[in-house]
Structure 1
Amino acid sequence: MVHPDFTILFVDNPLTSTDFYQSLFGAEPVERTPTFALFVLNTGMKLGLWSRHTAEPSVRGECGGTEICFRHDAAADVDRIYADWSGRGLRVLQTPVEMDFGYTFVVTDPDGHRLRVYSMSAD
């Protein structure tokens, strides 16, 4: 079976995006160049940030459109992270709300990629 272990976001400016995610994750990238950066997170997930201007094959269209999800155990965690991230000035697409799957909010990164934080419903 083949399973993914690495996500790449195409970004306008990898250095700006690297600074953004470094601050958000509280982690250093394992690789950082003007055209690419790589984070290896405690969960094992790898997140790459690749310049949309230098990627091969070339990237068509605009950046953004991807959603990265961050699961937490409790609604209080979601509220705490929302207060932190909205306080940093991240663009809020959805304030904390109860949905059919759980409690959640959504903000965006500098390129318009969506960042969803949620806790699952008890059901």
Structure 2
Amino acid sequence: MFKPNSVIIYVKNIDISTDFYTKILKQNPIETYPEFAVFLLKDDFILGLQQADQITPRSPNYYGGFELSFSDVTKDKVDEIYSLWKKLNVKIELEPQMLDFGYTCVGNDPDGHRLRVCATDTSKFE
């Protein structure tokens, strides 16, 4: 069975993005290269950061069309992460609030990629 095991996002500045993700994930990358950094998100799943102007084949010139979702958290954890992001000056797109699918907030990384934290309410789907 085909199972994706990584997400790679293109960034304008690898150093700024690596520093940003180190702070919000509260962990260092497991590997770094001059134009690439790798973070272990969960078991066998990684987040890769790739300097956009150094990838082959060339990347598109569009940034920020991506959302990384952290949805295995509680409502209190959403508030805790939101508070951390505010202290780190993460650009907030959506303050914590209840939406149809759960309690959520959204921030942006330095390249405009969305970061959603969501305590998903699956009770109506059961």
Bin the TM-score by the shorter chain.
over 0.9
Larger mean Cα displacement after TM superposition, 33-42 or 8-17:
33-42
- Contact 1:11/1:51, CA 8 A, preserved across alignment: yes
Gaps of 5+ in 2: none
- Contact 2:101/2:122, CA 8 A, preserved across alignment: no
What's the Cα RMSD here?
A: 1.3
- Contact 1:52/1:63, CA 8 A, preserved across alignment: no
Match of 1:99 in 2: 99
Match of 1:116 in 2: 116
TM-score (norm 2): 0.90
1:7 maps to 2:7: yes
TM-score (norm 1): 0.92
Gaps of 5+ in 1: none
**Relative to total residues, which structure has the larger helix share, 1 or 2?**
2
- Contact 1:72/1:78, CA 8 A, preserved across alignment: no
- Contact 1:101/1:121, CA 8 A, preserved across alignment: yes
Counterparts of 2:97 and 2:75 in 1: how far apart (Å)? 10
- Displacement of 1:80 in angstroms is 1.2
The amino acid that maps onto 2:28 is E
- Displacement of 1:30 in angstroms is 1.8
What count of residue pairs does the alignment treat as equivalent? 123
Counterparts of 1:18-97 in structure 2, within 5 Å, are: 18-97=18-97
Counterparts of 1:43 and 1:83 in 2: how far apart (Å)? 26
